């Protein structure tokens, strides 16, 4: 199995830019080190082709930052990062929605936001419309939709193209039961057997459903790596 993602001693620090006094008192100068926050502190991990990996950990443990580094949002401060394949990220699928525009008008907006080329949009449209099950509601402005309905259309576009490496950050936990089942099936189809998945979630049910391997994050480090069931158990105990 080919290596999809490899990181070695990956570190990411955030600058904390805050209001500084224009004329600070002498001797009270902030040192540079206190103005940085280390979000990831030496992550070394290897993820292979077709692996389904769940990321566990309390809020602020570094799960989302790790996914954002893989997605290319944040550049590593130090360490090595190697990615072989094309990344699709499902963080906030609603980005690009225009509340005043109708459902149909929003589909090209969402496609543009996700970088789906216009040449592809025609043959993806039917599939998207069918998945949303919104029917005539697609002619209405999005602002008249419930948040679940908005999620449906956003999720439908975000998952219209097959993915090589899929990154998901806690987005599937919303919507009614029917939607949850459908979105699960759609995600599986999207990965079509060989795709690699990284999923950050607090829901044990989702993690067992989607993943086979688990990584536990704590203060920017991976503290455990193993089969998902064991990892969930270990994480539950430590809470």
Partner 1 sequence: MSMPIAIKDVIQGFKNYDFWVTFGANEIKKKYRRSKLGQLWITLSVAIFVFAIGNLYKSLFNIEGDFYMTYLAVGYILWLFISGVITRSGTVFTKNRSFLLQRDWPATTFVLWLVYSQILTLAHNSIILIPIFIFWGTWPDVTGFFVALAGFGVTFLTALSVAMIIGITALRYRDLEPILKSLIRLAFFATPIIWIERDLGPTGNLITMLNPFGYFLRIVRDPILGFPINPVDWVVAGSVLTLCTLGALLLLSRTKHRLAFWL
Binding site for partner 1 (CB under 8 A): 14-15, 17, 68, 71-75, 87, 89, 91-92, 95-96, 98, 100-101, 108-109, 112-113, 115, 117-118
Beta bridge partners of 118: none
Q: Which helix (H) or strand (E) holds 213?
A: strand 213-218
- CA separation for the pair 17, 5 (Å, rounded): 31
Which one, 43 or 142, has the nearer CB to partner 1? 142
- How is residue 5 annotated by DSSP? E
Tell me the helix, strand and coil percentages in the chain, rounded to 5.
40, 30, 35
Residue among 53, 1, 63, 2 nearest 212 (CA): 53
Closest approach of Cβ 18 to partner 1, in Å? 11
Which one, 76 or 208, has the nearer CB to partner 1? 76
Burial of 220 (0-12, 13-18, 19+ CB in 10 A): buried
Which one, 59 or 178, has the nearer CB to partner 1? 59
Which one, 92 or 230, has the nearer CB to partner 1? 92
Closest approach of Cβ 94 to partner 1, in Å? 9
Closest approach of Cβ 118 to partner 1, in Å? 5
Which one, 92 or 139, has the nearer CB to partner 1? 92
- CA separation for the pair 227, 123 (Å, rounded): 39
Alpha helices (H) along 35-166:
63-70, 103-113, 118-132, 147-158
Sign of the C-alpha dihedral computed for residues 138, 134, 192 and 94 taken in this order: positive
Which one, 92 or 130, has the nearer CB to partner 1? 92
Closest approach of Cβ 1 to partner 1, in Å? 25
């Amino acid at each position: 199995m080919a290596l999809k993602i490899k990181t070695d001693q990956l570190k990411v620090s955030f600058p904390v830019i805050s209001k500084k006094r224009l004329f600070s008192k002498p001797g009270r100068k902030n040192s540079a080190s206190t103005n940085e926050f280390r979000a990831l502190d030496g992550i070394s991990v290897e993820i292979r082709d077709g692996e389904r990996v769940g990321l566990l950990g309390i809020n602020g443990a570094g799960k989302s930052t790790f996914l954002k580094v893989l997605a290319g949002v944040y550049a590593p401060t130090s360490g090595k990062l190697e990615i072989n394949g094309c990344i699709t990220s499902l963080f906030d699928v609603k980005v690009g929605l225009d509340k005043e525009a109708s459902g149909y008008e929003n589909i090209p907006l969402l496609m543009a936001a996700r970088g789906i080329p216009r040449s592809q949009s025609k043959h993806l449209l039917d599939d998207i419309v069918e998945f949303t099950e919104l029917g005539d509601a697609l002619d209405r402005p999005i602002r008249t939709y419930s948040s679940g309905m908005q999620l449906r259309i956003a999720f439908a576009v975000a998952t219209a193209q097959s993915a090589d490496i899929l990154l998901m950050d806690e987005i599937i936990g919303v919507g009614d039961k029917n939607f949850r089942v459908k979105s699960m099936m759609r995600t599986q189809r999207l990965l079509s057997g060989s795709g690699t998945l990284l999923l950050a979630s607090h829901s044990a049910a989702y993690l067992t459903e989607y993943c086979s391997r688990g990584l536990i994050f704590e203060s920017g480090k991976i503290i455990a790596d193993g089969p998902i069931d064991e990892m969930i158990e270990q994480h539950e105990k430590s809470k």
